[in-house]
Structure 1
Amino acid sequence: MRKTSPEATAQADGDSAKDTSAHTDNRLSSYTDVVNGYYDGATELYEYGWAQSFHFSRFYKGEGFKQSLARHEHYLAAQMGLKPGMRVLDVGCGVGGPAREIAQFTDANIVGINNNDFQIGRARKYTAKAGLSEQVTFVKGDFMKLAEMFGENSFDAVYAIEATVHAPSFEGIYGEILKVLKPGGIFGVYEWVMTDRWDPSIPLHKEVAHGIELGDGIAEMRGIQACRTAFKSVGFEVLHEEDLAERPDPVPWYYPLEGDIWKAQTAWDYFTVWRMSWSGKFVTHHALRVLEAVGVVPKGRGK
Structure 2
Amino acid sequence: MSKAQAASAVEKYQKYSGSSGGEGEEERKSNYYDKSNTYYDVVTGAYEAYWGESLHFASRWKGETLRESIKRHEHFIAMQLGLKPGQKVLDVGCGIGGPAIEISRFSKTSVTGLNNNEYQINRAKELSRLHGADQICDFVQGDFMNIPFPDNTFDAVYAIEATVHSPDAYECYKEIYRVLKPGQCFAAYESSMTTSFDPTNPEHQRIKKELLLGGGLVDIRSTTKVLEALKQAGFEVMWSKNIAEDSPIPWYFPIDKSNNSLSTNAVRLFKRNMLKALEFVGLAPKGITKVQAFAEWAADGLVEGGKKEIFTPMFFFVAKKPAD
Counting matched residue pairs gives 275
Structure 1 residue ranges, 4+ long, deviating more than 6 angstroms after superposition: none
Rounded to whole Å, the distance in 1 between the matches of 2:267 and 2:24 is 33
Residue aligning to 1:145: 146
Q: Does the residue aligned with 1:158 lie in a helix, a strand or coil?
A: strand
Match of 1:167 in 2: 166
Separation in 1, partners of 2:267, 2:118: 29
Which amino acid is the alignment partner of residue 206 of structure 2?
E
TM-score (norm 1): 0.86
Letter in 1 for 2:174: G
Distance in 1 of aligned mates of 2:93 and 2:85 = 22
1:85, 1:109 within 8 Å by CA — same for their partners in 2?
yes
Residue 102 (structure 1) aligns with: 103
Q: Corresponding residue for 2:253?
A: 255
Contact 1:210/1:221 (8 A) holds in 2: no
1:91 aligned onto 2:92: yes
1:188 aligns with 2:192: no
CA contact (8 A) 2:57 2:251 kept: yes
The within-5 A match list for 1:55-66 is: 55-66=56-67
Alpha carbons of structure 1 residues 252 and 53: separation in structure 2 relative to 1, 3 Å: same
User: 2:205 aligned with 1:206, yes or no?
Assistant: yes
CA–CA distance in structure 1, aligned partners of residues 108 and 283 of structure 2: 38
Alignment of 1:23-42 (within 5 A): 23-42=24-43
Partner of 2:273: 286
CA distance in 1, matches of 2:171, 2:230: 10
Give the match's secondary structure for 1:40: helix
- Equivalent of residue 18 in structure 2, options 7, 14, 20: 14
The 1-side partners of 2:278 and 2:86 are apart by 44
How many Å separate the matches in 2 of 1:106 and 1:299? 44
Q: Indicate whether 1:156 and 2:144 are aligned.
A: no
Cα distance change of structure 1 residues 23 and 260 upon mapping to structure 2, 3 Å threshold: same
CA distance in 2, matches of 1:25, 1:300: 28
**2-side partners of 1:218 and 1:207: how far apart?**
15
* Distance across 1 between alignment mates of 2:226 and 2:150: 25
Instruction: Tell me the secondary structure at the aligned position of residue 14 of structure 1.
Output: helix
In structure 2, do the counterparts of structure 1 residues 75 and 28 end up closer, same or farther at CA, with 3 Å as the change threshold?
Answer: same
- Equivalent residue number for residue 231 of structure 2: 232
TM-score, normalised to structure 2, is 0.80
C-alpha distance in structure 2 between counterparts of 1:259 and 1:89, whole Å: 35
Contact 1:41/1:300 (8 A) holds in 2: no
- Relative to 1, partners in 2 of residues 1:242 and 1:282: Cα closer, same or farther, differing over 3 Å? same
Runs of 5+ unmatched residues, structure 1: 1-11, 262-272
Q: 1:13 to 1:286 in 2, by over 3 A?
A: closer
Secondary structure of the residue that 1:281 maps to in structure 2? helix
TM-aligned CA deviation for residue 134 of structure 1: 0.9
Residues 120 and 293 of structure 1, relative CA distance in 2, 3 Å threshold: farther
RMSD: 1.7
| Contact 1:88-1:109 at 8 Å conserved across structures | yes
Specify whether residues 294 and 120 from structure 1 end up closer, same or farther in structure 2 by C-alpha distance, changes over 3 A only.
Answer: farther
Change (3 A) 1:13 1:250: closer
Given that 2:17 and 2:216 are in contact with CA atoms closer than 8 Å, whether structure 1 keeps it comes out as: no
SS of 2:192's equivalent? coil
Residue 260 of structure 1 deviates from its aligned partner by 5.1
Q: State the shift of 1:124 in Å.
A: 0.8
Secondary structure (helix, strand or coil) at the match of 2:60 reads coil
Query: Identity, % of aligned pairs?
Result: 43
Report the residue type matching 2:154 in the other structure: F
After superposition, the Cα gap between the structure-2 partners of 1:109 and 1:294, relative to the gap in structure 1 and judged at 3 Å, is farther
2:166 maps to a residue whose letter is A
What runs of 5+ residues in structure 2 fail to find an aligned partner? 1-15, 292-324
How far apart, CA to CA, are the structure 2 residues paired with 1:300 and 1:154?
Answer: 43
Deviations 1:44-65 (A, max 9, x none): 1101122221111111111011
SS of residue in 2 equivalent to 1:192: strand
For 2:240 and 2:209, the matched residues in 1 are separated by: 26
Secondary structure of residue in 1 paired with 2:140: strand
Stretch of structure 1 that moved more, 190-199 or 163-172: 190-199
**Aligned-partner residue type, residue 95 of structure 1:** I
Q: Alpha carbons of 1:66 and 1:297: their partners in 2 closer, same or farther (altered >3 Å)?
A: same
Residue 244 of structure 2 aligns with which residue? 245
How far does residue 281 in structure 1 lie from its aligned partner after superposition?
A: 1.9
